[in-house]
Structure 1
């Protein structure tokens, strides 16, 4: 099992991760995880933990993880948008076919405001793209 483990483990947290160096080469033959850094993806920042100094291998592994994580989060974000489109379609079908008057009363204003806000943003962004801004 120890041969299959990565040298670094990334515990996901808001805006980044806590980075551990994985050690299986010890007398007890158990897995030790030593915290070596904290990563902030929003600031593109790596902060060594405590008095630690990161070696070139640590730095390269962390930078590679940061790049892969940003790519994954971007893919998830666009997937969430596609799901929102599906939900809007399902909401339209629900409102037309199954919603009671009380249910519609409970959600109509909030939906109309959210859709108006979204439409305003999308129209403005499209106009900016068309005018080359």
Structure 2
């Protein structure tokens, strides 16, 4: 099965708040293996911008941390599968865990107190 996974990111790590990520990493998966990976600047943070941007890039899936109900609804309407609650770790590691089926998902709902998890 081939997929194009959109991962909200910042400096090589999964970014915890879907709509406020500074970048999106698009990863093309063919036959269970990473074929291509491209980092793009995310759109300005405004209602509906991120789901539309991700759909315009041809993404089939979103692998992310927290996201609000509006984003969930819009992604579902666009036919994009959501894998929410992923850990805030390096992209390579989250992809390895996802592809191996070993990823541990946490709470994917955004309660608007999940601002910037900077370290």
Same fold (TM > 0.5): no
* Structure whose residues are more often strand by fraction: 2
Output the TM-score relative to the length of structure 1: 0.28
Larger Rg: 1
* Structure whose residues are more often helix by fraction: 1
